[in-house]
Amino acid sequence: MKFVDEFRDPQMARRVLERIHAVVEEIPTTAQRPLQIMEVCGGHTHSIFRYGLEELLPDKIEMVHGPGCPVCVLPMGRVDDCVAIAEQPDVIFTTFGDAMRVPGSKKSLQQANSDGCDVRMVYSPMDALDIARRNPHKNVVFFGLGFETTMPSTALTLLQADREGITNFSLFCNHITIIPTIKAILDSPDMVIDGFLGPGHVSMVIGKAPYDFIASHYKRPLVIAGFEPLDILQSMLMVVEQIRDGKALVENQYKRIVPEQGNNNALKAVGEVFELREFFEWRGLGSIDHSGVRIREKYARFDAERLFAVEPAHVADPKACQCGEVLKGVLKPWECKLFGEQCNPETPIGALMVSTEGACSAYYSYGKIDVKQAV
Ligand code: SF4
């Protein structure tokens, strides 16, 4: 298939892998400890396990699976908030499919639907707006979720609702931003990250410049990476070459998709509709300053948080659930006591088992269990 097969060429992959192995041998610190390279994006986590790339990398590289799966970092309390809105009379609650099964403290949205709430899966916020047009006597709420990748489509939908004068559509905004989160990871004392594979889709919107502080201040390399096997391997080679050469640069491997300056139209729509929150709570990472957005006062009439007077609930994860440790790379998924038994994709207990981009789900689906370490 044109534009796909080229990025899955096994001969080429072998050549890039040979170079990665050779470069890593030239890095003296790897004799003491493996390099810790974080793939920020859940899409990369999925590709790494789907194509077995971690197995092919040198033992001296350890992948740390980052927080870039928006469903996985959704705290339980926010799911409870969604259920509380969905339970209001005359509400149609709309959401992307992945979020349906994320457990809340009492139930998921899917269970709320079984209990009689009107919860509908949509593929885009525009689908939700269409439901609002067709159901003028219902209040249609869209669960806005995701990083800068999905933020523009939510913003554009809200602007469209505004233009059409639609009054029965609102947004429960849980959009999050990637830059403060990477900063929180770099500031975290229990995490040592030597370099990053930067998120491809987010970067398509925000461009390359917002990552500059990672190189200039924290002296870590970051390479914005595509999602095919050769994209990931080439990006890894670019990261380890920088480490070997004592460099810390932001590079863009995914140039065929990511413009250096990002997408100005998308950024303009986002800036028009959203403003930063002072802080936002993440599953496993706690509260991170300026890591989420809310709807500006100007568009308050579309804000489900205000319309339904949602007071963000703080709910602790179940005691045995170790999503936080996995998210921070302190534990591998199979080291969680619940992995594969009580927690599996059919009956997820933690959010990392729900989305296909979650590390636990990826490990479970593609059989990536390090038996040597597990026994
Ligand atoms: S196995 Fe389940 S509970 Fe344990 S870390 Fe993974 S998702 Fe969380």
Q: How much is the average pLDDT of 239-260?
A: 97
321 Cβ inside 6 Å of ligand 1: yes
Question: Considering the chain, what is the average pLDDT of its residues?
Answer: 92
Same domain, 272 and 283: yes
The whole-number pLDDT of residue 371 equals: 40
On the question of pLDDT at 185 being above 80, the answer is yes
Q: How much is the average pLDDT of 293-297?
A: 98
Same domain, 160 and 213: no
Which residue is associated with the tokens 């319309």? 307
Tell me, yes or no, whether 125 lies in a domain.
yes
**C-alpha closest to that of 170 among 158, 152, 155, 156:** 158
Tell me, yes or no, whether 117 lies in a domain.
yes
Same domain, 221 and 135: no
Last residue of a domain, one of 213, 228, 252: 252
The whole-number pLDDT of residue 1 equals: 62
359 Cβ inside 6 Å of ligand 1: no
On the question of pLDDT at 373 being above 60, the answer is no
Same domain, 283 and 151: yes
**C-alpha closest to that of 231 among 24, 65, 12:** 12
Which residue is associated with the tokens 């590289």? 61
Tell me, yes or no, whether 373 lies in a domain.
no
| Closest ligand 1 atom, residue 351 Cα | 7
Q: How far apart are CA 269 and CA 99, in angstroms?
A: 24
Q: CA angle, corner 36, sides to 241 and 69, nearest 5?
A: 110
Using an 8 Å Cβ cutoff, are 23 and 244 in contact? yes
Same domain, 349 and 361: yes
Tell me, yes or no, whether 313 lies in a domain.
no
The whole-number pLDDT of residue 304 equals: 97
Which CATH number belongs to the domain containing residue 291 in this structure? 3.40.50.11740
Tell me, yes or no, whether 344 lies in a domain.
yes
Reduced to 3 states, what is the DSSP secondary structure of residue 120?
A: strand
Q: How much is the average pLDDT of 6-32?
A: 94
Same domain, 83 and 167: yes
Same domain, 191 and 208: yes
Q: How far apart are CA 361 and CA 345, in angstroms?
A: 6
For a ligand 1 pocket test, name from 65, 108, 360, 368 the mutation site with the most ligand atoms within 8 angstroms of its C-beta. Answer: 360
Tell me, yes or no, whether 312 lies in a domain.
no
On the question of pLDDT at 44 being above 90, the answer is yes
Task: Name the amino acid, one letter, at 339.
Answer: F
Global confidence as pTM: 0.90
- Residues whose CB falls within 8 Å of the CB of residue 64, separated by 6 or more in sequence, listed in order: 36, 37, 38, 39, 191, 193, 329
Tell me, yes or no, whether 207 lies in a domain.
yes
Tell me, yes or no, whether 245 lies in a domain.
yes
Taking the centre of ligand 1 as the mean of its atom positions, its distance from the CA of residue 327, in whole angstroms, is 10
Same domain, 54 and 183: yes
Structural domains of the chain, count: 3
Structural domain including 38 reads 5-66+179-252
Same domain, 111 and 161: yes
Same domain, 102 and 191: no
Same domain, 112 and 61: no
Q: How much is the average pLDDT of 192-207?
A: 96
Same domain, 40 and 164: no
Q: What is the pLDDT of residues 303-347, one digit of tens each?
A: 999 999 887 777 877 788 888 888 777 788 889 999 999 999 888
Name the pLDDT band for 23 (thresholds 50, 70, 90): very high
